[in-house]
Amino acid sequence: MEATGTDEVEKIKSKFMSAWHNMKYSWVLKTKTYFSRNSPVFLLGKCYHFKTEGEYRALHSFQSSSAADGSNFDKITAEISGNVEEFRKDFISRIWLTYREEFPQIQGSALTTDCGWGCTLRTGQMLLAQGLMLHFLGRAWVWPEALDMDSSEQDSWTTNTVRKLTASFEASLTAERDPKILPQPRPRRGPARSSWDVTETRNEVYHRKIISWFGDSPPAAFGLHQLIEYGKKSGKAAGDWYGPAVVAHILRKAVEEARDPELQGVTVYVAQDCTVYSSDVIDRQCSLVDSGKAGTKAVIILVPVRLGGERTNTDYLEFVKGILSLEYCVGIIGGKPKQSYYFAGFQDDSLIYMDPHYCQSFVDVSIKDFPLESFHCPSPKKMSFKKMDPSCTIGFYCRTVQDFEKASEEITRMLNSSSKEKYPLFTFVKGHSRDYDFASSPLHEENDLFSEDEKKRLKRFSTEEFVLL
């Protein structure tokens, strides 16, 4: 009985925490982001130019302010190059994974939300999601309904936050176990598509399937519940803080253990001590795809690095910008002290990111035609590179062995040209890790998800990395 009472207290506490975080971070969603017309904008390897007088306010904010003062938005749009709209579609099409609440209870805890502690897991999910999008959809794909996301959606989020806080307070007074918040229906804009061609239908199937792999329920291959289970092998538990390097290893294990046949053609490699061993990567790519079936796997390479000591060294700025300019880059798990962000692009000396800190309601991705809007961010944010925490994980996607060899050559040239120090940020080395007297991690471990060498490395990462809230 006492345990049940404790669980109820924890549930009420988590609901208040969720509401508080929404109040705390909702202003960020409302804050306008400004982009200069004079500098190109890069987003995961694509370049955009905003050629208008003055500055272009990100996404829908220009439209909402124009409506407020009665100006002619259509005329303004006509003067802007097509790249503005293309950027809007491209950014919104990226998968946005944020704090969630009221999802199935995490095993071994009373937690039904990751508010306040799960942000690095969420940014890791976003990076992996981008890698899977490249694999199944390609970099040119955009969500057909991306431009339906507008400021009214953002307003409803803030309104919904207030209603959640009120409902949680009332529930605590009436001892109601699960206060229900009825979502406001969002009108569908435009006529429904009468017919889709084969390619569009296929793309929509994969779009939903990728999102479903990140659902907040135990069966989801890359959902929070599964990632926490793998994290336990490195000494982490639900409610703990996770650093970028630890999350990189957790993602690798999650992909290795995924049983969906669609995922058998993808593998993840994590660099060891800032070194990518080429033969180890190629061995992963050339391993048996599924039950003895021969084939070549695509690989997502994750490189945990530090961009300086206590603070980020600005000498690394050009390298980070170069990395985000590559078409096979899948982003960076990083942030600033006490907050994790998913970095996906830049303009001048500012990084463009998606913020996981907004807490949204649980969405059951197992139902047919589940709503997609909350998985796409309507507004990019910018942050000065100087504010970036030095601890981060960089990600790349290579479909074939030839792609990996080309990428390793290109990134090596970039590392050498950008490094003002004696040694580059990380290196690509020929051969296997075992050739250099390092323990080589087997592709499949039967009894333990992490080898002893990996456990030691993860513990070291856990003590070195910054605390994320």
Q: Select which of 355, 359, 376, 398 is catalytic.
A: 355
Query: How do residues 384-403 score in pLDDT, each as one tens digit?
Result: 999 999 999 999 999 999 99
CA distance 399 to 45: 16
Range 223-226, long-range pairs (CB < 8 A, 24+ positions) = 224/100, 224/103, 224/106, 224/114, 224/118, 224/121, 224/125, 225/104, 225/106, 225/107, 226/254
Residue 11 within a domain: no
Judged against a pLDDT cut of 70, whether residue 146 lies above it is answered with yes
Query: How do residues 9-57 score in pLDDT, each as one tens digit?
Result: 666 666 666 666 666 655 556 677 888 888 999 999 999 988 753 444 4
pLDDT mean over 110-126: 94
Is 355 one of the annotated active-site residues of the chain? yes
What pLDDT shows up at residue 159?
46
CA distance 296 to 181: 47
Residue 187 within a domain: no
Is residue 367 very low, low, confident or very high in pLDDT (cuts 50, 70, 90)? very high
Domain that holds residue 214: 35-59+73-147+199-434
Judged against a pLDDT cut of 80, whether residue 454 lies above it is answered with no
Total number of domains in the chain: 1
- The listed range with the strongest mean pLDDT (33-42, 125-134, 168-177, 291-300) is 125-134
Residue 461 within a domain: no
Three-state DSSP class for 41?
strand
Q: Using CA of residue 173, residue 174, residue 179, residue 184, what is the dihedral sign? A: negative
What is the pTM assigned to this prediction?
Answer: 0.80
Is 286 one of the annotated active-site residues of the chain? no
77: which residues sit within 8 A by CB, 6+ positions away? 84, 85
Q: Report DSSP state, residue 444.
A: -
| Average of per-residue pLDDT values in the chain | 79
Q: Select which of 357, 376, 389, 398 is catalytic.
A: 357
CA distance 330 to 394: 8
Inter-residue contact 103 to 321 (CB < 8 Å):
no
What pLDDT shows up at residue 423?
72
Query: How do residues 92-106 score in pLDDT, each as one tens digit?
Result: 999 999 999 999 999
Residue 92 within a domain: yes
Q: Using CA of residue 102, residue 104, residue 106, residue 110, what is the dihedral sign? A: positive
pLDDT mean over 200-228: 96
Residue 14 within a domain: no
Is 119 one of the annotated active-site residues of the chain? yes
Residue 50 within a domain: yes
Q: Which tokens go with 144? A: 């057909």
Is residue 264 very low, low, confident or very high in pLDDT (cuts 50, 70, 90)? very high
Residue 194 within a domain: no
Judged against a pLDDT cut of 90, whether residue 380 lies above it is answered with yes
What pLDDT shows up at residue 96?
97
Residue 387 within a domain: yes
In 3D, which of 309, 290, 289, 307 has the Cα closest to residue 298?
Answer: 289
- Helix (H) or strand (E) run with residue 244 in it: helix 244-257
CA distance 345 to 331: 8
CA distance 103 to 87: 33
Q: Select which of 60, 90, 115, 119 is catalytic.
A: 119
